[in-house]
Every structure is written in structure tokens, then in C-alpha cells.
Amino acid sequence: MSILFSAGEVGSFNAIFKCFEVLQNKRDCYFHFTELSKKNCSPDSLLEIDLSSPLLEIKRFLKSKNIDTLLYSVNLFSNETRQLAGICKKLDIKLLHVLDYWNGYIERLRVGNEIIFPHIYLVPDRKAFTEAIAEGIPEDIIIISGNPAFSDKLNIYQELKSSSVFKPTPKKIAFIAEPILQDQGDESAETFRGYSEQSVLSLFSESLESIDAPAVDIIPHPRQDLPTLKSFLSNLGNDSFKLRQNISITKSFHEYQGIVGMSSSVLYEAWLFGLPTLSIQPNLRNPSLKIAMQRKGICLVLNQDHALHEITQWLSTLTSNPNIHTVKFEELNRHVGSIKIIESLLSLPDNI
């Protein structure tokens, strides 16, 4: 039998693509056609599915490929993948959902007015397990598996450590950009976060005025509108800020004293590596984005009135070396084993 993979957004795609790479050597695997899968998968492994076709027609097509499992990950904007999950549920195809982040636990499963529960809901850690139950995910379908997107992070850390490159450039920080206005809209939108990328960058820039400012590399998101970001940085006029493109940020962590951002998964990765991490989210309206960053070792700035003081205080605590002793080895090891856990679940009987 065959496995169909589906994810349409970068974080979601990363959560399952490493599984695809491993499992395609052991079982017939197909990836639902999206721009991301087109760029990363061989043409013969791609399936173009017209989701507007009659259900019987889709059933015949999937049956011709012997699809018995959908392994998918859904971001809040992954409408096609959600729709596909709803169709597969109707066709009695086993659903395994991989959670890629700590928010929107049940909203990810919404198709129209219906919640499509998978047979197995895979979460990265105990924190996500507890929060998913609190949001209404049935406990009996949740399994703590780690996240395949982070399955190589321990190796990366060990390689950096063993090569003695984990010595950051003095007074250098990375700011992790996110296309917030593009994704959540401005003040007029119901989904507005309470801040924008531009407002946070302006606030961070202002905080640097009262100290001996470090150099700041701005790391764009893969979906970033680069001309707009470049124009904003140019108008901001902070000489400390420099846009840095086309790097693997995890493999470049060793260059930085600290990592700054809003609610990106990169901040979580920095926390895993034990790096000083700052999440700036003033006037936040969406509590789940706060919850994602609530970890011992992440400085979380939420109050607009106190933001400048809290940011400058965090900057003043940075030392010439990252806090290596706070590396989260337990979490890193859990992620390392995530693909094996998922592979074992694919062998479960159909009546899970």
C-alpha cells in the first residue's frame, strides 16, 4: 500500500518532508502537488489531485495508486491540505497529522464548519500534548513523537560544537523576520496580531539607540516580500541592520550572541541550542503565539509600555559566549527519534 503526503506551507512541509525522504525508500510514497513539493520532489512522486472533482472520481484515482494513508501537516493557511484530509476521511483513508508548531491545535483541523479529526495527532512534546487536549483534541488520538523538521538539529549542534566554531562574532545578533502583515493583516483585520513586523523592527531599532549597538542581521522568511522589507529597512535608516539572505540559520547560529524575533520556529530552534532568545510581541492579541514562546530561557516581551526597558535589559545580559550549558538535549533527542516513531505507527492495524 502507499502513503500520500501533503503540506502547503514551509513549516508544515518541513515537518513531513524528512519522513518522505526516508519512507520513499521503503514504501510507495507520493506527495500532493504544491509549489513546495514541485521544487523538492521528483516528478514521478507527485500527484495532482483535482479536489473539486466528484468524490467517486477522487476515490478511483487514489485507489489506483493504492493510497491507504495520508501523512499531512496543516498550517492555518493550508486550505488544500485540509480539504484533502476531509476527503480522505470520507474515503476511510488513515489520517496521520504532524503538528509543526505550538498553536492553533484544533483550528488546523477545520474544514468549513467541520472539524476533521485524524486517526493519530502527532505532537512534538509534553507541552503540546497538554495544550492540544485543552483545546479539544481527544487525548486518545494524541501521540508525542517529536517533530521530524528538527530531527537533524542534534547532529548540527554536535558538528558545530566538535569543530569549535561555536564562538559567536562579538556583538552580533540575528533578527528572524516574518511576513506578519501578509499573513495576519493590519489593524483592520480580525486576525491582526496586535503588532506588525515593521512595528517590532522599529521598536528593536529604538532600543539599540541607548546602548553600544551590536550588528544585527535581518534573516528573511522564505515567503518574505523582499522589496518591501528592503524598502522598510532603508527608510528605517539603522546602520546596525543588514539584510542577510540565502543562509541556513541553524547552521549559522554559532555566529550570533543572541536570536531575536516574534514567534518563529527559528526562535524555538535557538532555544534548543541554548542561545539567548528574545521574542518581541507587544500588544499581542493571539494568546497561542504567547504560549508557543513561553519557555524557560526565552525572554518574552508583551507589554508595549515596558518593551524598550525589557529589550535593552535583555541586550545588556548578552555575553561573549552563548549559554551552551542550557542546550536542550532531551528535546533534541526526542526529535531525532521522530521519524522512527512515525514509521512504526504506519504499521498499526487499520482499527486504530
DSSP 145-163: ---GGGTTHHHHHHHHHHT
129 in the same domain as 229: no
254 pLDDT band (50/70/90 cuts)? confident
Q: What is the pLDDT of residues 286-327, one digit of tens each?
A: 888 888 899 988 999 999 999 999 999 999 888 544 444 589
Please determine, for residue 348, whether its predicted confidence score (pLDDT) is greater than 90.
no
Which residue bears the cell 532603508?
234
266 in the same domain as 295: yes
For residue 185, tell me if it sits in a domain.
yes
For residue 311, tell me if it sits in a domain.
yes
C-alpha–C-alpha distance, residues 243 and 201, integer Å:
12
The residue ranking higher by pLDDT, 45 or 165, is 45
189 in the same domain as 51: no
C-alpha–C-alpha distance, residues 150 and 333, integer Å:
10
Could you tell me the CATH number of the domain that includes residue 275?
3.40.50.2000
C-alpha–C-alpha distance, residues 46 and 211, integer Å:
52
Average pLDDT of the chain is 90
pLDDT of residue 168: 62
pLDDT of residue 352: 42
Mean pLDDT of 64-89: 92
For residue 351, tell me if it sits in a domain.
no
Please say whether the beta carbons of 78 and 8 come within 8 A.
Answer: yes
Establish how many alpha carbons lie within 13 A of residue 242's alpha carbon, considering only the half-sphere containing its beta carbon: 8
Please say whether the beta carbons of 55 and 17 come within 8 A.
Answer: no
236 in the same domain as 119: no
pLDDT of residue 325: 54
Mean pLDDT of 112-118: 94
pLDDT of residue 319: 57
Rg (CA), the chain: 21
Q: What is the pLDDT of residues 139-150, one digit of tens each?
A: 999 999 999 999
Query: Which residues have CB under 8 Å from 79's CB, separation 6+?
Result: 8
pLDDT of residue 351: 43
88 in the same domain as 140: yes
C-alpha pair distances (Å), 273 with each of 117, 200, 253, 256, 316: 33, 24, 8, 12, 20
181 in the same domain as 73: no
Q: Give the chain's domain count.
A: 2
C-alpha–C-alpha distance, residues 37 and 48, integer Å:
11
C-alpha–C-alpha distance, residues 66 and 47, integer Å:
12
Phi, psi of 125, deg, nearest 5: -160, 180
Given the DSSP bridges, would you call strands 114-115 and 110-111 parallel, antiparallel or unpaired? Answer: antiparallel
161 in the same domain as 139: no
243 in the same domain as 178: yes
304 in the same domain as 170: yes
pLDDT over 90, % of the chain: 69
Q: What is the pLDDT of residues 159-208, one digit of tens each?
A: 888 776 666 666 899 999 999 988 888 888 888 999 999 999 999 999 99
Given the DSSP bridges, would you call strands 67-72 and 298-301 parallel, antiparallel or unpaired? Answer: unpaired
Please say whether the beta carbons of 5 and 71 come within 8 A.
Answer: yes
For residue 62, the enclosing domain spans: 2-151+337-345
For residue 278, tell me if it sits in a domain.
yes
C-alpha pair distances (Å), 103 with each of 128, 293, 300: 8, 10, 16
Q: What is the pLDDT of residues 324-344, one digit of tens each?
A: 458 999 999 999 999 999 999
For residue 350, tell me if it sits in a domain.
no
For residue 19, tell me if it sits in a domain.
yes
Mean pLDDT of 66-88: 91
307 in the same domain as 232: yes
Q: Which residues of 78-96 are buried (b: 16+ CB within 10 A; e: fewer)?
A: bebbbbbbbbbbebebbbb
Q: What is the pLDDT of residues 13-37, one digit of tens each?
A: 999 999 999 999 888 999 999 888 8
116 in the same domain as 18: yes
261 in the same domain as 243: yes
Lowest mean pLDDT among 71-85, 118-132, 134-148, 157-171: 157-171
For residue 352, tell me if it sits in a domain.
no
Three-class DSSP category at 122: strand
For residue 272, tell me if it sits in a domain.
yes
Which residue bears the cell 549597538?
213
pLDDT of residue 169: 64
